[in-house]
Structure 1
């Protein structure tokens, strides 16, 4: 008959408990390695951002950003994913620049991206802009959306 020491049995129990705790922990969300400044480039600074929200879920799907480069008068917009990071899912960013009255010019970038959509850039010194961003989680039924409303008219 084989017997184990108390210390050996305790080590097995601690090891099994540790494995169970590891399995019970929720998976950590992947962190997006990209920043809006890094995507838009040198000289661009964030002037506004909004979280991408789902209509019923409490988590956010990332953020849409509006940046401005005061040295050249260009705006830049980018949607940085916060869900399905590293997986290709539908993601888009749209920058509207008011030209006159209710008319505007649209600049967009969309497709199946792993980390972000954009950058889209437009000269907008002295003009108002609006930005839309969205992304999907790994299931196409979970869409996250945000608007930076008309403004930033400087």
Structure 2
């Protein structure tokens, strides 16, 4: 292979790499400074513990992980908290939700849904009640989403 052909091939590969880098959105631009417990404390105060079976990854249909959904409990108050913590598009305002379904006779869905930079969090009283939880994270164009959930009743004590 001549030097000229080699240089042309390298140039084409470099151009393709630059094009791919500018087209693909930087989903993981920075690290989220908040944990699930910090999100619940920041929004509602108190001391929060991670619940058993209280973690789901928020994944896209293609399997990419864009964050985590946590179920936490405050034993002093009897409240549950769900926090959706972003690991994609951190620092960028995107649609983010945290949802808690409490089996209190009427199966009330409690949610926090808005454009958030780091997390969404919701709490509701749940001592002695079973709960389900889920969260979503949207991309900046609101075209694609990642979701994580536990769609069966648990944490009933």
Q: Classify the TM-score, shorter chain.
A: 0.7 to 0.9
Q: Is the 8 A contact 1:44 1:68 kept in 2?
A: yes
**Aligned partners of 2:87 and 2:139: how far apart in 1?**
9
Task: List aligned pairs for 1:2-151, cutoff 5 A.
Answer: 29-41=29-41, 42-47=46-51, 48-56=54-62, 58-100=63-105, 103-118=106-121, 120-149=122-151, 150-151=153-154
In the TM superposition, structure 1's runs of 4+ consecutive aligned residues that sit over 6 Å from their partners are: none
TM-score (norm 1): 0.76
**Aligned partners of 1:108 and 1:137: how far apart in 2?**
19
3-state SS of 2:37 partner: helix
Q: Is the 8 A contact 1:61 1:137 kept in 2?
A: no
Deviation at 1:138, TM superposition (A): 2.6
**Higher CA-based Rg:** 1
Say how many residue pairs are matched.
128
Alpha carbon RMSD of aligned pairs, Å? 1.9
For structure 1, which runs of at least 5 residues remain unmatched after alignment?
A: 1-19
Deviation at 1:59, TM superposition (A): 1.9
**Aligned partners of 1:117 and 1:40: how far apart in 2?**
9
**Aligned partners of 2:50 and 2:29: how far apart in 1?**
24
Query: Residues 52-93 of structure 1, C-alpha deviation per residue, up to 9 Å, x if partnerless?
Result: 01112x320101110001111111111111111000111111
TM-score (norm 2): 0.75
- Larger mean CA deviation between 70-79 and 135-144 belongs to 135-144
For structure 2, which runs of at least 5 residues remain unmatched after alignment?
A: 1-13
Deviation at 1:97, TM superposition (A): 0.6
Deviation at 1:139, TM superposition (A): 3.4
